[in-house]
Structure 1
Protein backbone atom coordinates (compact mmCIF):
# COMPACT_ATOMS: atom_id res chain seq x y z
CA UNK A 1 0.00 0.00 0.00
CA UNK A 2 1.43 3.34 -1.04
CA UNK A 3 1.21 6.30 1.29
CA UNK A 4 1.02 9.72 -0.32
CA UNK A 5 2.00 12.77 1.65
CA UNK A 6 1.21 16.10 0.10
CA UNK A 7 3.92 18.76 0.16
CA UNK A 8 2.78 21.96 1.78
CA UNK A 9 3.01 25.29 -0.01
CA UNK A 10 1.65 27.24 2.95
CA UNK A 11 2.17 26.57 6.58
CA UNK A 12 -0.85 26.22 8.75
CA UNK A 13 -4.21 24.62 8.32
CA UNK A 14 -5.46 24.72 4.71
CA UNK A 15 -7.73 22.54 2.57
CA UNK A 16 -5.58 21.04 -0.20
CA UNK A 17 -6.74 21.02 -3.81
CA UNK A 18 -5.57 17.40 -4.22
CA UNK A 19 -6.67 14.43 -2.14
CA UNK A 20 -10.12 15.76 -1.28
CA UNK A 21 -13.20 13.63 -0.91
CA UNK A 22 -15.84 16.03 0.42
CA UNK A 23 -14.40 19.38 1.36
CA UNK A 24 -10.76 18.57 2.06
CA UNK A 25 -11.02 19.08 5.81
CA UNK A 26 -9.65 15.64 6.72
CA UNK A 27 -6.90 15.90 4.09
CA UNK A 28 -5.90 19.30 5.48
CA UNK A 29 -5.86 18.02 9.05
CA UNK A 30 -3.81 15.00 7.97
CA UNK A 31 -1.28 17.19 6.20
CA UNK A 32 -1.01 19.53 9.20
CA UNK A 33 -0.44 16.73 11.71
CA UNK A 34 1.73 14.53 9.47
CA UNK A 35 -0.52 11.50 9.06
CA UNK A 36 -2.53 9.98 6.23
CA UNK A 37 -5.91 11.34 5.16
CA UNK A 38 -7.41 7.85 5.46
CA UNK A 39 -6.47 7.66 9.13
CA UNK A 40 -8.06 11.04 9.84
CA UNK A 41 -11.20 10.05 7.91
CA UNK A 42 -11.55 6.84 9.93
CA UNK A 43 -11.09 8.74 13.19
CA UNK A 44 -13.70 11.31 12.09
CA UNK A 45 -16.15 8.58 11.13
CA UNK A 46 -15.72 6.76 14.44
CA UNK A 47 -16.04 10.00 16.39
CA UNK A 48 -19.38 10.72 14.70
CA UNK A 49 -20.75 7.59 16.38
CA UNK A 50 -20.09 9.18 19.77
CA UNK A 51 -22.33 11.90 21.22
CA UNK A 52 -21.11 15.41 20.57
CA UNK A 53 -20.92 18.19 17.99
CA UNK A 54 -18.46 16.50 15.60
CA UNK A 55 -20.53 17.17 12.47
CA UNK A 56 -20.94 20.83 13.41
CA UNK A 57 -17.17 21.11 13.98
CA UNK A 58 -16.53 19.59 10.53
CA UNK A 59 -18.87 22.12 8.93
CA UNK A 60 -17.22 24.97 10.83
CA UNK A 61 -13.76 23.84 9.70
CA UNK A 62 -15.06 23.64 6.13
CA UNK A 63 -16.09 27.29 6.35
CA UNK A 64 -13.04 28.52 8.30
CA UNK A 65 -10.16 26.67 6.60
CA UNK A 66 -8.91 28.48 3.49
CA UNK A 67 -8.28 26.71 0.20
CA UNK A 68 -4.68 26.00 -0.72
CA UNK A 69 -4.94 27.92 -3.99
Structure 2
Protein backbone atom coordinates (compact mmCIF):
# COMPACT_ATOMS: atom_id res chain seq x y z
CA UNK A 1 0.00 0.00 0.00
CA UNK A 2 2.82 2.42 0.85
CA UNK A 3 4.45 1.81 -2.53
CA UNK A 4 1.30 2.80 -4.41
CA UNK A 5 1.07 5.96 -2.29
CA UNK A 6 4.64 6.97 -3.17
CA UNK A 7 4.13 6.02 -6.84
CA UNK A 8 1.12 8.37 -6.88
CA UNK A 9 3.28 11.15 -5.42
CA UNK A 10 5.92 10.51 -8.10
CA UNK A 11 3.30 11.05 -10.82
CA UNK A 12 2.60 14.53 -9.42
CA UNK A 13 3.41 17.30 -11.90
CA UNK A 14 5.12 19.27 -9.12
CA UNK A 15 8.67 18.34 -8.13
CA UNK A 16 11.06 20.03 -5.77
CA UNK A 17 13.37 22.12 -7.91
CA UNK A 18 17.09 21.44 -8.41
CA UNK A 19 17.88 25.14 -7.93
CA UNK A 20 17.00 25.45 -4.31
CA UNK A 21 17.42 27.94 -1.55
CA UNK A 22 16.15 25.72 1.29
CA UNK A 23 14.20 22.62 0.27
CA UNK A 24 13.37 23.34 -3.36
CA UNK A 25 9.63 23.65 -2.74
CA UNK A 26 9.24 27.19 -4.08
CA UNK A 27 11.45 26.43 -7.08
CA UNK A 28 9.39 23.35 -7.89
CA UNK A 29 6.07 25.19 -7.64
CA UNK A 30 7.45 28.06 -9.73
CA UNK A 31 8.74 25.63 -12.34
CA UNK A 32 5.38 23.82 -12.55
CA UNK A 33 3.38 27.01 -13.09
CA UNK A 34 6.12 28.82 -15.06
CA UNK A 35 6.43 31.58 -12.47
CA UNK A 36 9.48 33.40 -11.21
CA UNK A 37 10.83 31.45 -8.19
CA UNK A 38 11.37 34.67 -6.26
CA UNK A 39 7.66 35.54 -6.52
CA UNK A 40 6.79 32.16 -5.01
CA UNK A 41 9.44 32.66 -2.33
CA UNK A 42 7.98 36.07 -1.48
CA UNK A 43 4.48 34.57 -1.23
CA UNK A 44 5.89 31.83 1.00
CA UNK A 45 7.53 34.42 3.20
CA UNK A 46 4.17 36.18 3.56
CA UNK A 47 2.57 32.82 4.42
CA UNK A 48 5.24 32.32 7.09
CA UNK A 49 3.79 35.35 8.88
CA UNK A 50 0.98 32.92 9.71
CA UNK A 51 3.36 30.34 11.20
CA UNK A 52 1.03 27.37 11.61
CA UNK A 53 -0.16 27.55 8.02
CA UNK A 54 3.03 28.64 6.28
CA UNK A 55 5.65 26.60 8.11
CA UNK A 56 3.40 23.55 8.50
CA UNK A 57 2.48 23.45 4.83
CA UNK A 58 6.10 23.94 3.76
CA UNK A 59 7.27 21.04 5.97
CA UNK A 60 4.53 18.74 4.65
CA UNK A 61 5.43 19.60 1.05
CA UNK A 62 9.14 19.13 1.76
CA UNK A 63 8.48 15.66 3.18
CA UNK A 64 6.07 14.43 0.50
CA UNK A 65 6.89 16.13 -2.81
CA UNK A 66 9.29 14.10 -4.93
CA UNK A 67 12.65 15.58 -5.82
CA UNK A 68 13.59 16.04 -9.48
CA UNK A 69 15.22 12.58 -9.34
CA UNK A 70 11.99 10.95 -8.05
CA UNK A 71 13.12 10.33 -4.46
CA UNK A 72 10.73 11.15 -1.60
CA UNK A 73 12.05 11.95 1.88
CA UNK A 74 9.28 10.15 3.79
CA UNK A 75 9.74 7.03 1.68
CA UNK A 76 13.48 6.99 2.37
CA UNK A 77 12.90 7.48 6.10
CA UNK A 78 10.36 4.64 6.20
CA UNK A 79 12.57 2.26 4.25
CA UNK A 80 15.54 3.09 6.47
CA UNK A 81 13.41 2.26 9.52
CA UNK A 82 12.42 -1.13 8.07
CA UNK A 83 16.00 -1.98 7.15
CA UNK A 84 17.40 -1.09 10.57
TM-score normalised according to structure 1 size: 0.75
Could you give the per-residue CA deviations for residues 3-61 of structure 1, whole angstroms, max 9, x where no partner exists? Answer: xxxxxxx87010122x1000000000101111011000001101221364110000000
TM-score normalised according to structure 2 size: 0.62
Following superposition, which runs of at least 4 residues in structure 1 exceed 4 angstroms of deviation? none
Distance 1:20 1:12 in 2: 18
Classify the secondary structure of the residue corresponding to 2:66. Answer: coil
> May I ask how many residue pairs the two structures share in their alignment?
59
RMSD after superposition: 1.8
Larger RCO, structures 1/2 (Cα 8 Å, 6+ apart):
1
Classify the secondary structure of the residue corresponding to 2:23. Answer: coil
Q: Where do 5+ consecutive residues of structure 1 fail to align?
A: 1-9
Q: Where do 5+ consecutive residues of structure 2 fail to align?
A: 1-10, 70-84
Residues 33-44 of structure 1 aligned to structure 2 (within 5 Å): 33-44=33-44
**Structure 1 residues 60, 11: CA separation in 2 closer, same or farther (over 3 Å shift)?**
closer
Structure that is richer in helix per residue: 2
